[in-house]
Amino acid sequence: RGSLFLTWTLLLSPLVLTLGAEINVEGVEGGEVSFKCAHKLAHNNKKYFCTDPCKTNEDILVDVSPGEIATAGRITLVDSEDGSFTVKITQLLLSDAHVYWCAVIRSISNTYTSVNLTVHKGTFRLQCKPETSVFHLSLLVVSGGFVCMSTCRSN
């Protein structure tokens, strides 16, 4: 009898934690972001990425089967077959800034991880003073965004 109770408890324990950790992602307008959503005991489950509130099929943006790659518009999901999947959003728009959800289809209750996407405006201004100075700029591209390092030197 104790063994049966232990088995029953282990089967129900993943259902108790229906919400996972929160993921915060930042990108630059026109760039891309990529992040991993991980869920326990989900290597054989279908997964999906949806917009908040993620309550109806109309909220689902892309879904992916185990071991597969799925693309819809600018969003690609890659299932790693280890319970996790990678989400890639390209050609970011300011209007993409939103709350999304990474989800796993389960037999009784789906599990979700919140994703907060922030998109920064892709333009920037640089100015050197006085006008006789020379401006040196270098850009380091990092996953669709950039880090700007600059110096102003007088002639």
Q: Supply the DSSP symbol for 103.
A: E
- The secondary structure of the chain in percent helix, strand, coil, rounded to multiples of 5, reads 15, 50, 40
> Of residues 147 and 25, which shows the higher confidence score?
25
Q: What pLDDT score does 42 carry?
A: 86
CATH of 18-120, one of 2.60.40.10, 2.40.50.140, 2.160.20.10, 2.40.50.180: 2.60.40.10
| pTM > 0.75 | no
Highest mean pLDDT among 31-35, 80-84, 137-141: 31-35
C-alpha pair distances (Å), 114 with each of 51, 59, 101, 127, 128: 10, 14, 5, 39, 42
**pLDDT beyond 70 at 149:** no
30-64: pLDDT as tens digits? 999 999 998 888 888 899 999 999 999 999 999 99
- Residue-wise over 92-109: b if at least 16 C-beta within 10 A, else e? beeebbeebbbbbebeee
Q: What pLDDT score does 66 carry?
A: 94
Dist CA 145 CA 122 (whole Å): 9
**Domain boundaries of the chain, sorted by first residue:** 18-120, 124-155
Average pLDDT in the 2-23 region?
40
pLDDT band at 130 (very low <50, low <70, confident <90, very high): low
